[in-house]
Amino acid sequence: MTAKHQAATYDMGDGTRVTCTTSTPWVAGAQPPGTPSPDCGHVYERPGTYTITATHRWNLSWTAMGQSGSFPLTNTASLVVTVGELASVVVAR
């Protein structure tokens, strides 16, 4: 059996829906905090609590005892996140 990821759709909880067909693996320390996503990102305009729902679509192919086939598979999960606000002041001297 082989599973190929087709896409991921994220309902960001603020009325925005983002669909991603590629993604870059996360590597600790590879990008400084605040760096935009290279593939698929979202910026919240207001602080608050949001429910993010991710739906992944896969295509599964199989072969066994001279037979083969394929079928789609979808899985969905949700997570509640709290988004804060960061403010800073830069003083030129």
Domain residue extents for the chain: 2-23+40-83
pLDDT of residue 57: 97
pLDDT of residue 61: 97
Model pTM? 0.76
Six token digits for residue 20: 């991603």
> What is the average pLDDT value for the chain, to the nearest integer?
91
E-strand ranges in the chain read 2-11, 17-20, 48-64, 67-83
d(CA 74, CA 91): 51
Q: Does residue 68 register a pLDDT over 80? A: yes
